Amino acid sequence: MSVPSSIAVLTSGGDAPGMNAALRAVVRRSVYEGIRIFGVYHGYNGLIRDEMIEMNVSSVSDILHRGGTILRTARSAEFMTSAGRDKALAALRGRGIEGLVVIGGDGSFRGALELMRLGFPVMGVPGTIDNDIEGTDYTIGFDTAVNTAVEAINKVRDTATSHERTFIVEVMGRDAGFIALAAGIAGGAEVILVPEEGRDLREICRRLTSGLRRGKLHLIVVVAEGAARAYDVAAGVTSEAGLETRVIVLGHLQRGGTPTAFDRILASRFGSAAVAALLEGRAGLMTGVRGDQLVFPELEACLAVRKRLDPELLKLAGILAI
């Protein structure tokens, strides 16, 4: 694979806090290395429509602390067709671009693999609040989303205690319970419901009522959206255990806001490393982190495996909620 002298970057799929920090690192590392860098608007849709601008150091000034993505994002149906991908490839080649950094989640990486199959070098940077990408301990945006959820749980706890009520807090995570598990442990939830595990209303109620019996004033259930809908859980808890419930659905609130320092640093490392990898002639890989170390697993291998929740954390959540 030849070393590129001109590359592009796009953000795709659901936005995540820290995507801008990753973009900034991609651009600044490219400038540092003396190569040209193009920003693509609207994810893969922008590639197809050739919506790109050449970026420089000041194109990414003052975005490190901003949530969202200045390149905008999209989930592209057209890129799923081979005609769409051909147009995207033609746009890249037409501008003399020889490598691409894709910042996004699993859907975005499937698109990246399709480009690789067409012979175009791509590096993936995992950016999704869900943290559901195999091959990395953390994805960009997860830490911020968890902190947002914990802040909400802290506030809800005040009202839960004052009124001696049960609150059901629904967090994001259509297919994965990473946010629910982390926010539930950090927020001291009595019950955590994740899509990876079955849910048993009787067991949920047993845990809640045993908490009440030992004098707890507030009860908090954290539920991932993919495990159950919070309103259904609330109705079940009221009819089965007779508890007064209230529901909070955090939804897209968790996707916005200024990224935490952790996410900014992770994003900066990933963005810079993705450019360095392309310049070393490497592609088809993802930037990841294992412990403190950057790693570069194969994109294809990351997509082939469903990332598992840490069984130790699952067990801990049960132990702490007795």
Active site residues: 130
Residue written as token pair 């051909």: 86
Pairing of strands 52-55, 36-40: antiparallel
Q: Tell me which stretch binds ligand F6P (CB under 6 A): 126-134, 183-191, 285-293, 304-312.
A: 126-134
Rounded CA Rg of the chain: 22
List the x/- string, 96-115, binding to ligand F6P by CB under 6 A. ---------x----------
When asked if residue 128 is in the footprint of ligand F6P (CB under 6 A), the reply is: yes
Q: 12 vs 128, which CB is nearer to ligand F6P?
A: 128
Least distance (Å) from ligand F6P to the CB of residue 158? 26
Region 42-71 residues binding ligand F6P, contact defined as CB under 6 A:
none
**Residue among 30 and 128 whose Cβ is closer to ligand F6P:** 128
Kindly state the number of chain residues that form the binding site for ligand F6P, as judged by CB under 6 A.
10
Of 172 and 230, nearer to ligand F6P (C-beta) is: 172
Backbone angles phi, psi at 243, to 5 degrees: -90, 145
Strands 6-11 and 219-224, by their bridges, are unpaired
What minimum distance in Å lies between the beta carbon of 89 and ligand F6P? 26
HSE-up (13 A, CA, CB side) for residue 169: 34
Site string for ligand F6P, 146-185 (x = CB under 6 A): --------------------------xxx-----------
172 or 237: CB nearest ligand F6P: 172
The one-character DSSP state at 70 is T
Q: Which is nearer to ligand F6P, 147 or 166 (CB)?
A: 147
| Contact pattern for ligand F6P over residues 250 through 289, marking x by CB under 6 A | -----x----------------------------------
Region binding ligand F6P by CB under 6 A among candidate stretches 122-130, 184-192, 196-204, 299-307 = 122-130
Measured from the CB of residue 105, what is the shortest distance to ligand F6P in angstroms? 6
Query: Closer CB to ligand F6P, residue 131 or residue 166?
Result: 131
The minimum distance between CB 196 and ligand F6P, in angstroms, equals 14
Task: Please give the residues from 211 up to 250 whose contact with ligand F6P meets the rule CB under 6 A.
Answer: 225
Q: Label each residue of 141-204 as H, E or C.
A: CHHHHHHHHHHHHHHHHHHHHHHCCEEEEEECCCCCCHHHHHHHHHCCCCEEECCCCCCCHHHH
How far apart, in whole angstroms, are the C-alpha atoms of residue 99 and residue 1? 10
* 14 touches ligand F6P by CB under 6 A: yes
CB-based contacts of 45, cutoff 8 Å, min separation 6:
51, 74, 76, 78, 79
CA distance 123 to 196: 29
Q: Residues 164, 119: contact at Cβ < 8 Å?
A: no
Output the six-digit token pair for 191: 């019950």
- Please report how close the Cβ of residue 129 comes to ligand F6P at its closest, in angstroms: 6
Q: Does 36 bind ligand F6P (CB under 6 A)?
A: no
From CA 135, how far away is CA 152, in angstroms rounded? 30
Cβ within 8 Å of residue 155, ≥6 positions away: none
Which residues of the chain form contacts with ligand F6P (CB under 6 A)?
Answer: 14, 105, 128-130, 172-174, 225, 255
